[in-house]
Chain A
């Protein structure tokens, strides 16, 4: 049996359409069977509500008198992209305020506009014959703009990798606070309700598909940036009129230590025309697997700690290596349900009809990494390869001598197996000598918490370590923990003016 889209839209128009949410669908299919569900259900509504950093909006402010060609534009001190003609600009949700940092960003400007608040526009220009004006400052309401069109390049990930931290320091990421020693797991996505998880073949969600976007009747532009449907990580590009949006479904956020982001509510109605759609929308949290990734590895290819299902993640606790670890969601399931329910109401009352994509997206696509034509400098290339060390059972006096001889301020301390077990600085030895303890052992005065790097580590990562710990040198150790050199703040200076162009 098949059901045509026209039949479904006729039922929407005459009010007899049967709409269920993607959360209700699996049980209906279990109860009625696939054929029965196809007969019974006309539309399945989906929903998700989570942080979607790759979002933003186009504005047209209207012309001023005398006119200005806005070459740079700030909205509440958040810079918007103005490399467009005259009075157009695009604000990105993740842009930070120039005066308030990540406390306030493009996402907050979008929320303030939708909330009906005044937003200050500042623009500047070099001035031309046709656009003589050089600056303008004015306060604007959303309704006063000619256009405010949200266009989100990457929304509604089919599913997303969960995050944990095997390191020994707390991490502040766009996946939230990750406690050290696998202290927690953070995940995102609405699983059973996720729009693309209910159409993994991208058969019904493509260019022109109507959708719910932050409370507005929007539509799918086409494939989202970085989409990887062949790997189960599809995304869509979405658009909608900001004037129809509601802050109930569009919220600015700030992730501590990361920056601003926008919580976006997206829902797509899926017309149930055939058995394939019935099967796809019968998906449950138990059927959707994702990987838990270790964010303590500062690399693109972070190791997977475990494969899990959304059902496990949403249970609140998962087992990781015999330990029970608590999970946190970054996206709101309560809100995702609200989106799916609201959309259900729209279809039932005929506010929105269903449509097939005007053009389908390529479901075979996979996102790749960037091609890097310029090498990133590694620690090996700028470190000091002749780093004197001292053994932990030597005296303070010996350490002071070694520091002087090496003309250095830091000495890695090694044990009998030549493993780095600490670090001693000129401050430590001076202090011991002032206290008249020249014969004390290095092990008594050394810092045991030693932060190290390795020769293959990217210099950026090593520099982050120096900054984070407020220190000025890192012992460089090989894969066996043996010292092979020292990287100091002074070495970082080698990156400037030499063969490395920044």
Chain B
């Protein structure tokens, strides 16, 4: 699966962007997060890797900005003390300890909810802008 971060402006925001993309490509899109404001919005979707190009092309034709999301949440290793305060607040179980109690992250599962950023006492976590 590939995560795509779609940026929409006011113009495309009025169109049924996701629905039309599903109809045109026949690809089943999983919407993980959506944040729509009056002028702009962002939608995070999950699509099968093989269909990503098709979906991207269709979205871009509808004037949406599309970015392949590889590293959603970032950890500053200088700031992080590996306490683990972030672990249980993550709904996607992105963060865990390895057997030596070092922190490891499966960033591909991140849905940019930001709970861990707020929970980190050391400001070591940030979301990709």
Assuming the contacts A49-B81, A316-B96, asked whether A326 and B123 have C-beta atoms less than 8 A apart, the reply is no
Does B77 make an interface contact (CB < 8 A)?
no
Q: Check if B85 is an interface residue, CB within 8 A of chain A.
A: yes
Q: Is B84 among interface residues, defined by CB-CB distance under 8 A?
A: yes
A334–B82 touching, CB < 8 Å: yes
Query: Quick check: A327 and B88 within 8 Å, CB to CB?
Result: yes
Also in contact, A184 and B89, with CB within 8 A (given A176-B119, A332-B84):
yes
Q: Assess whether A337 is in contact with B101, with CB atoms less than 8 Å apart.
A: yes
Q: Is the CB–CB distance between B118 and A328 below 8 Å?
A: no
Report whether B87 and A316 are in contact in the complex, using a CB–CB cutoff of 8 Å. Answer: yes
CB of B74, distance to nearest CB on chain A (Å): 18
Q: A316-B97, A332-B81, A334-B82 are in contact. Are A251 and B122 (CB under 8 A)?
A: yes
Interface flag for B86 (CB, 8 Å): yes
Q: Given A179-B89, A316-B97 in contact, is the A332-B82 Cβ separation under 8 Å? A: yes
Encoded as 1 (CB less than 8 Å from any B CB) or 0, chain A from 189 to 200 comes to 000000000000
Quote the shortest CB–CB distance from A345 to chain B (angstroms): 18
Q: Are A263 and B81 in contact (CB under 8 A)?
A: yes
CA distance A327 to B93 in the complex (A): 11
* B-contacting residues, A155-204, CB 8 Å: 172, 176-177, 179, 183-186
> Which residues of chain B come closer than 8 Å to A176, judged between CB atoms?
85, 89, 119, 121
Do the beta carbons of B121 and A184 come within 8 Å of each other?
no
B82 lies within 8 A of A335 (CB): yes
Contact partner of B101 among A177, A253, A325, A334, CB < 8 A?
A334
Which A residue's beta carbon lies closest to that of B79? A251
Q: Taking CB as reference atom, which chain A residue is nearest B84?
A: A329
B33 on interface, CB distance cutoff 8 Å: no
Query: Residues of A contacting B93 with CB < 8 Å?
Result: 326
Q: Are B88 and A184 in contact (CB under 8 A)?
A: yes
Contacts of B81 in A (CB 8 A): 49, 251, 263, 332, 335
B115 within 8 A of A: yes
What 0/1 pattern do residues 57 to 90 of B give for CB contact below 8 A with A? Answer: 0000000000000000000000001111111110
* Contact for B85 among A179, A183, A330, A334, CB less than 8 A: A330
The prevalent SS among residues of A at the interface is strand
Which B residues are CB-close (under 8 A) to A333? 82, 84, 97, 101
Q: Are A329 and B83 in contact (CB under 8 A)?
A: yes
Residues from chain A with Cβ under 8 Å of B118 in the complex = 172, 177, 256
Tell me whether B87 and A253 are in contact (CB under 8 A).
no
Task: State how many angstroms separate the Cβ of A106 from the closest Cβ of chain B.
Answer: 15
8 Å CB interface, A322-353 against B = 325-335, 337
Residues of A253-268 whose CB lies within 8 A of B: 253-256, 261, 263
Closest chain A residue to B93, Cβ basis: A326
B83 close to A330 (CB less than 8 A): yes
A281 to chain B, nearest CB (A): 20
**A50 lies within 8 A of chain B by Cβ:** yes
Assess whether A334 is in contact with B102, with CB atoms less than 8 Å apart.
yes
A332 to B101, alpha carbons, bound, how many Å?
A: 8
Among A51, A327, A334, the residue within 8 A (CB) of B121 is: A51
Chain A 296-333 against B: per-residue CB contact (8 Å), 1 yes, 0 no?
00000000000000000000100000000111111111
Q: A328 — which chain B residues lie within 8 A by C-beta?
A: 84-89, 119
Q: Which residues of B contact A263 (CB under 8 A)?
A: 81, 83, 121-122
Q: Is the CB of B96 within 8 A of A50?
A: no
A138 to chain B, nearest CB (A): 28
A330 contacts across to B, CB distance below 8 A? 83-85, 121
Chain B: minimal CB distance from A95 (Å): 17
A177 touching B82 in the complex, CB below 8 Å, given contacts A184-B89, A334-B100: no
Nearest to A175 among chain B residues (CB) is B85
What's the minimum C-beta distance from A111 to chain B, rounded to whole angstroms? Answer: 10
Contact assessment for B83 and A332 in the assembled complex, using a CB-CB cutoff below 8 Å: yes
Whether B123 and A254, one on each chain, are in contact in the complex, defined by CB atoms closer than 8 angstroms, is yes
A-B contact pairs, 15 of them (CB 8 A): A186-B85, A253-B122, A254-B123, A255-B121, A316-B87, A316-B96, A327-B88, A328-B84, A328-B85, A328-B87, A328-B88, A329-B85, A331-B83, A332-B84, A334-B100
Please give the residue numbers on chain A whose beta carbons come within 8 Å of chain B beta carbons, in ascending order: 49-51, 172, 176-177, 179, 183-186, 251, 253-256, 261, 263, 316, 325-335, 337
B residues sitting closer than 8 Å to A (CB atoms) are: 81-89, 93, 96-97, 100-103, 115, 118-119, 121-123
Known: A251-B81, A325-B88, A329-B84. 18 other contacts (CB 8 A): A50-B83, A176-B89, A179-B88, A186-B88, A251-B122, A253-B121, A254-B123, A263-B83, A263-B121, A316-B96, A327-B87, A328-B85, A329-B87, A330-B84, A332-B81, A334-B82, A334-B102, A337-B101
The 6 closest A-B pairs by CB, nearest first: A184-B88, A253-B121, A328-B88, A326-B88, A177-B119, A329-B84
